[in-house]
Amino acid sequence: MRHFLNHRMLPLLLTLLSCATGVRAAEDGILYSRGDSATVMGTGATKAETYDVAQLLNDRALVGMTIQALRITFPYADGLSEGQAWLSTQLPDIKSQKMQTPDIAQQTFTPRKGYTEVVFAQPYTITEAGLYVGYSFKQAASSPSRKPVVTAKQASEGGFFLHSSQVYRTAWHDMTSAYPDLALQVVLAGDEVHEVAAGVSNVRDFEGRTGLATSTTFDVVNHGTQGVRSIDYTYEIAGQTGTRHVSLSPTLPGIFGRSATCKVQLPAVAEKGAYAVSIEITKVNGQPNQDLAPRAQGTAILYHTLPQHRAVLEEYTGTWCGYCPRGFVGLEEMNRLHPTDFIGISYHNRDPMEVMSSGQFPSEVSGFPAAFIDRNLSTDAFSGSSASKTFGIEAVWKNACTATAPAEVDITTEWTDDSIVRATSVITFPVGRADCPYEVGFILLSDGLKGTSGNWAQSNYYSGETGWPSSMDPFTKGSSSVPGLTFNFVIIARSSKSGIEGSLTAPVEADVPQTFDYEFDIRQCLNTAGQLVVQDKSQLSVVVLLLDKATGRIVNANKVRCGQSTADAVRPATAADSVRSVRYFDLQGRPATHPVRGLFIKAETLSNGQVRTQKVQL
Tell me: do 558 and 598 sit in the same domain. no
Over residues 560-573, the mean pLDDT reads: 72
Is-cis flag, bond preceding 352, omega within 30? no
Tell me: do 373 and 353 sit in the same domain. yes
Helix 393-401 vs helix 325-337: crossing angle, to nearest 10 = 50
Tell me: do 349 and 423 sit in the same domain. yes
For residue 463, the model assigns a pLDDT of: 97
Tell me: do 129 and 60 sit in the same domain. yes
Beta bridge pairs of residue 514: 427
Tell me: do 376 and 475 sit in the same domain. yes
Q: 406 and 556 in contact (C-beta within 8 Å)?
A: yes
For residue 215, the model assigns a pLDDT of: 94
Q: CATH no. for residue 245?
A: 2.60.40.10
Give the end of a domain, one of 144, 172, 189: 189
For residue 448, the model assigns a pLDDT of: 97
Min mean pLDDT across 66-75, 175-184, 339-348 is at: 175-184
Tell me: do 355 and 427 sit in the same domain. yes
- Highest mean pLDDT of the ranges 142-151, 192-201, 537-546, 560-569: 537-546
Q: Containing H/E element for 561?
A: strand 554-561
% the chain with pLDDT above 90:
62
Distance CA 427, CA 566 (A): 12
* pLDDT per residue as tens digits for the range 379-410: 999 999 887 899 999 999 999 999 989 999 99
Beta bridge pairs of residue 150: 42
For residue 591, the model assigns a pLDDT of: 62
Q: 120 and 88 in contact (C-beta within 8 Å)?
A: no
pLDDT band, very low/low/confident/very high, at 32 (cuts 50, 70, 90): confident
Distance CA 337, CA 550 (A): 33
Min mean pLDDT across 100-114, 269-283, 351-365 is at: 100-114
CA proximity to 328, closest of 352, 340, 344: 344
Tell me: do 76 and 177 sit in the same domain. yes
Statement: residue 151 has pLDDT above 50: yes
For the full predicted model, state whether its pTM sits above 0.85.
no
Give the end of a domain, one of 282, 303, 324: 303
Distance CA 36, CA 252 (A): 10
**Which is more confidently placed, 296 or 7?**
296
For residue 356, the model assigns a pLDDT of: 97
For residue 13, the model assigns a pLDDT of: 33
Beta bridge pairs of residue 6: 43
Tell me: do 291 and 396 sit in the same domain. no
Tell me: do 423 and 537 sit in the same domain. yes
Task: Read off the DSSP letter of residue 593.
Answer: S
Distance CA 247, CA 231 (A): 7
Give the end of a domain, one of 246, 268, 303: 303
Tell me: do 266 and 337 sit in the same domain. no
Domain count for the chain: 4
Residue-by-residue DSSP string for 30-61: EEE--S-TTS-EEEE-SSSEEEEEEEEE--GG
State which amino acid sits at residue 108.
T
Who contacts 523 (Cβ-Cβ below 8 Å, separation ≥6)?
Answer: 419, 532
Tell me: do 351 and 453 sit in the same domain. yes
Distance CA 311, CA 543 (A): 12
Nearest-Å Rg of the Cα atoms of the chain is: 30
Statement: residue 4 has pLDDT above 60: no
Tell me: do 128 and 29 sit in the same domain. yes
For residue 35, the model assigns a pLDDT of: 67
Going by DSSP bridges, is the β-strand pair 30-32/49-57 parallel, antiparallel, or unpaired?
Answer: unpaired
For residue 610, the model assigns a pLDDT of: 55
Strands (E), 447-489: 458-459, 481-482
- Highest mean pLDDT of the ranges 25-34, 52-61, 595-604: 52-61
Q: What is the mean pLDDT of the chain?
A: 86
Statement: residue 304 has pLDDT above 50: yes
Beta bridge pairs of residue 378: 372
For residue 575, the model assigns a pLDDT of: 43
Min mean pLDDT across 141-150, 373-382, 418-427 is at: 141-150
Distance CA 59, CA 190 (A): 14
**Which structural domain, as residue segments, surrounds residue 245?**
198-303
For residue 613, the model assigns a pLDDT of: 62
